[in-house]
Amino acid sequence: MTTLKTLSHASCIIKNGDKTLITDPWLIGSCYWRSWWNYPPVKESIYEDIKKIDAIYITHVHWDHWHGPSLKKFFPKETLIITHKESNTRSVEDLRSMGFNNIKLLKHGESFKLGSMILTAYQFGLAMNDSALVVETPEMKLLDANDCKIAGSSLRAILKKHGQFDFALRSHSSANDRVCYSIQGSDYQMDDENHYSRSFALFMNAVNPKFAVPFASNHCHLHKDVYHLNDLVNDPFKLEAYLSAKKLLKNNTQLKIMLSGDSWSSSTGFDIDPLNAKFFSDKSNKISEYKESVSNKLKQFYDLENKMSPNARIVEMFATQINSIPFFLRKKFKGFTYKMILFNDHSQWCYIVSPFSGTVEKCEEEFENGSKILIPVKIFIDSVALNMFHHSSISKRNKYIFDNETYFKKFDQFQNLLEYVELGVFPLRLKYILRVLSMYSRRWREVFIYGKAYLLSRKGMPNYYIEEEFLKDT
């Protein structure tokens, strides 16, 4: 018998025989500096299910999937952790620093047997490698795509190898920071809120599973800086309404909303708690109650943030990270600077950042140069100290304000390069280049996808529409 149970935002348990697998366990608390919280809240009953876990699969390094506090609290250090082998080693290094040394790395398309379960990992992504996981048991076949944007020939290869899936799980809401950008006096479209529903439908139409499960987007925002963004979260019931109204889900695929504690068994079918729906039919009040229930934790965090201030050492570290980007790539930023404002509730500190010269210098509050980036001071300090600037943006607590599209595009290009520092791409090393070449020998289909994506972007097509184009082509 095989069972599947949804635990939280992007975590589920799959049991077959005497073996149990858990994916992406974020099971307690929040992530991204108290910005993201599981929604609905994780049911207390699921903690019984995780007392005996044979293996953990981690899809990628983002904190809503790779959640350190959950790993530390619930899993013995000898627990087998399975993840994908990628060119950057950040995830593995961080696991080992926490004491987890029983790690199995799967190459792209490589399988691993866990009892009667067969697990196969697939990667996708130019530098930030998300992975999709295929789980096959004698009674069920599942594709956990979570945040992985796999599409085109790469997705076709999976379908050809594994055939019909019973379940496909995929994200359906924004995990990026596009909503945090603004260009003064411009109607430039940063994002399309319906893109996430369309891409979910296009993916499911390509995969054609029996059941399409909205997954890895079941969260809300409780920090005061981002509480107002809850209306923008594309929750599973919003998704269901949009797909139904537009008649986007084709074939015989059935949308199946599975929230914390909901389950399926190969012998008895689905066990869905109808009370979970109340978290969405009365969403505003439920989130307000949720916020009140964790108000002490939020207040403690606000107090901590308000005690923090930047120092010369952390600013120097940031300049060093900028300078690790090769100069031939920084040359295109000559003449471009931006004003960085670090802040808490009581103070702010202003700096001029020059990507070209790799300098970070204090400036007056009155200084303006057409590009203004506001970052909570604790987020800046942690991001620099941990070298995790990409996580800073996912918090959605930063603000990016530009006078024109040219400044916006310049900063966006620089931000991408800074994220490559986090991912270990820069400073360039021969070992890293050799690892990349080795990885893409198994992932050669992606090279053609990236080539086509580059040409489409040169024509002015936004990334979110490019993703849809590749899904249509699957």
pLDDT given for residue 463 in this prediction: 87
- Tracing tokens 């040219």 back to the chain, one arrives at 406
* pLDDT of 127 over the 70 cut: no
Report d(CA 123, CA 114) in Å as an integer: 20
CA distance 243 to 228: 25
pLDDT at 336 over 90: yes
Are 375 and 396 a contacting pair, CB within 8 Å?
no
pLDDT at position 93 = 94
Beta bridge partners of 119: 112, 135
For 354, list phi and psi in degrees, rounded to 5. Answer: -115, 105
* Average pLDDT value for residue range 79-97: 94
Give the model confidence (pLDDT) of 261-310 as tens digits: 999 999 999 999 999 999 999 999 999 999 999 999 999 999 999 999 99
Predicted pLDDT of residue 128: 65
| Rounded Cα gap, residues 435 and 84, in angstroms | 13
Of the ranges 80-89, 124-133, 209-218, 319-328, which one carries the lowest mean pLDDT score?
124-133
- Determine the angle formed by the axes of helices 312-323 and 377-386, rounding to 10 degrees: 50
Residue 428, pLDDT score: 87
* Contact between 125 and 88 (Cβ < 8 Å): no
- 73 CB-near residues (< 8 Å, 6+ apart): 27, 28
Are the C-beta atoms of residues 316 and 362 closer than 8 Å to each other?
A: no
Residues in contact with 10: Cβ distance below 8 Å, sequence separation at least 6, in sequence order: 23, 24, 26, 59, 64, 65, 146, 147, 171, 215, 216, 218
Q: What distance lies between CA 85 and its chain's CA centroid?
A: 18
Question: Cα(75)–Cα(138) distance, rounded to whole angstroms?
Answer: 27
* Cα–Cα separations (whole angstroms), residue 53 to 18, 102, 134, 166: 10, 14, 18, 23
**424 falls in which pLDDT band (50, 70, 90)?**
confident
